[in-house]
Amino acid sequence: MAQAAVAKSQLSRERIRAAWIFLVPMLAILALVAGWPLAKTIYFSFTDASLNNLSDAQFIGIRNYIEYVDYGGGEGEYYGLLAEPGWWRSVWNTIWFSVTSVLFETFFGMIIALMLNAEFKGRGFVRAAVLVPWAIPTIVSAKMWAWMMHDQFGILNDMLMRIGAISEPVAWTATPDTAMIAVLIVDIWKTTPFMALLILAGMQMLPGDIYEAAKIDGVHPVKVFFKITLPLIRPAVMVAIIFRALDALRVFDLIYVLTPNSEQTRTMSVWAQENLFQFIGPGRFALGSAASTMLFLIIALITILYLKLGRVNLEGSGR
pLDDT band at 108 (very low <50, low <70, confident <90, very high): very high
Contacts of 42 (CB under 8 A, 6+ apart): 289, 293, 296
Same domain, 172 and 56: no
Instruction: Look at 79 and 35; give whichever has higher pLDDT.
Output: 35
Mean pLDDT throughout 149-165? Answer: 89
Residue 16 falls inside a structural domain: no
Residue 26 falls inside a structural domain: no
> For residue range 265-283, what is the model confidence (pLDDT) as tens digits?
999 999 999 988 887 666 7
Cβ pair 147, 154 in contact under 8 A: yes
pLDDT at 12: 78
Same domain, 176 and 213: yes
Same domain, 218 and 253: yes
- pLDDT over 60 (residue 238): yes
Distances (CA, A) of 122 to 114, 263, 276: 15, 45, 50
Instruction: Look at 269 and 154; give whichever has higher pLDDT.
Output: 269
Which residues in 110-127 are b (16+ Cβ under 10 Å) and which e?
Answer: bebbbebbeeeeeeeeeb
Cβ pair 233, 202 in contact under 8 A: yes
Same domain, 146 and 287: no
Residue 116 falls inside a structural domain: yes
- pLDDT over 80 (residue 144): yes
Cβ pair 190, 139 in contact under 8 A: no
Using DSSP's 3-state secondary structure scheme, residue 155 falls into helix
Same domain, 286 and 210: no
- pLDDT over 70 (residue 77): no
pLDDT band at 118 (very low <50, low <70, confident <90, very high): confident
Query: What is the spatial distance between Cα 83 and Cα 112, in angstroms, rounded to a whole number?
Result: 44
- Here the CATH number for the domain that contains residue 254 is 1.10.3720.10
pLDDT at 101: 96
pLDDT at 104: 96
- pLDDT over 90 (residue 199): yes
Backbone Cα Rg of the chain: 25
pLDDT at 281: 67
How many Å is the maximal CA-CA distance in the chain? Answer: 84
> For residue range 22-76, what is the model confidence (pLDDT) as tens digits?
888 888 888 888 888 889 999 999 988 888 877 888 888 888 888 765 554 444 5
Residue 311 falls inside a structural domain: yes
What single letter denotes the amino acid at residue 44?
A: F
Same domain, 299 and 176: no
Same domain, 254 and 141: yes
- The long-range contacts involving 172-178, CB below 8 angstroms and separated by at least 24 positions, are 173/146, 173/149, 173/258, 173/259, 173/262, 174/259, 174/262, 176/262, 176/263, 176/264
- pLDDT over 80 (residue 91): yes
Query: Considering the chain, what is the average pLDDT of its residues?
Result: 85
Poorest-pLDDT segment among 4-8, 223-227, 274-278? 4-8
Query: What is the spatial distance between Cα 292 and Cα 275, in angstroms, rounded to a whole number?
Result: 10
For 79, left (φ over 0), alpha (ψ -120 to 50), or beta?
Answer: beta
Same domain, 128 and 241: yes
Picking from 67, 66, 101, the residue whose alpha carbon sits closest to that of residue 249 is 101
For 272, left (φ over 0), alpha (ψ -120 to 50), or beta?
Answer: alpha
pLDDT band at 319 (very low <50, low <70, confident <90, very high): very low
Range(s) of the domain holding residue 74? 43-83+279-319
Same domain, 108 and 249: yes
Residue 229 burial class via C-beta count within 10 angstroms: exposed 0-12, middle 13-18, buried 19 and up: buried
pLDDT at 133: 92
pLDDT band at 148 (very low <50, low <70, confident <90, very high): very high
Distances (CA, A) of 167 to 170, 171, 182: 9, 13, 18
Give the pairing of strands 77-79 and 68-70: antiparallel
Residue 152 falls inside a structural domain: yes
Which residues in 204-219 are b (16+ Cβ under 10 Å) and which e?
Answer: eeeeeeeeeebeeeee
Same domain, 161 and 232: yes
Same domain, 287 and 214: no
- Please give the DSSP secondary-structure letter assigned to residue 6: H
- Report the run of H or E that residue 68 belongs to, with start and end: strand 68-70
- Overall size of the chain counted in residues: 319
Instruction: Look at 311 and 208; give whichever has higher pLDDT.
Output: 208
Q: Which of 256, 274, 292 is the last residue of a domain?
A: 274
| Structural domain count, the chain | 2
- pLDDT over 70 (residue 106): yes
Same domain, 242 and 229: yes
- Report the run of H or E that residue 69 belongs to, with start and end: strand 68-70
Residue 20 falls inside a structural domain: no
Instruction: Look at 12 and 112; give whichever has higher pLDDT.
Output: 112
